[in-house]
Copies of this chain bind each other. A is one copy, B any other.
């Protein structure tokens, strides 16, 4: 199991569009066979900041996710909405 944690800062004027695009992509991602969980978190004290917690079964499942139409569409559609580069890391879960 691999968890990807992604931090994204969105331009204030874009947050509503970003949420719509991201929830559409989340919904599709959750249906991928290798996706165990896909959570979108929004910071309480700064609603322009988001953290995505994406749990996949394997490296192969992550590669497959990145090839999906919904991921590519999301990435293209939100690119201009980001206030800075997104920060991502891959993690193991301590059991």
Binding site for B on A (CB under 8 A): 2-3, 5, 19, 22-23, 26, 39-45, 49, 51, 53, 89-94
Contacts and interface: CB of A to CB of B under 8 A. Distances in A.
For this chain, the copies found in one complex come to 2
Contacts of A44: 2, 89-92
A22 B5 CA distance: 19
22 contacts: A2-B44, A3-B39, A5-B41, A19-B94, A22-B94, A23-B94, A26-B94, A40-B94, A41-B91, A41-B92, A41-B94, A42-B93, A42-B94, A43-B89, A43-B91, A44-B90, A45-B89, A45-B90, A49-B89, A51-B89, A51-B91, A53-B53
Nearest to A5: B51
A-B pairs with lowest CB-CB distance, top 8: A41-B91, A40-B94, A44-B90, A42-B92, A3-B41, A43-B89, A43-B91, A5-B51
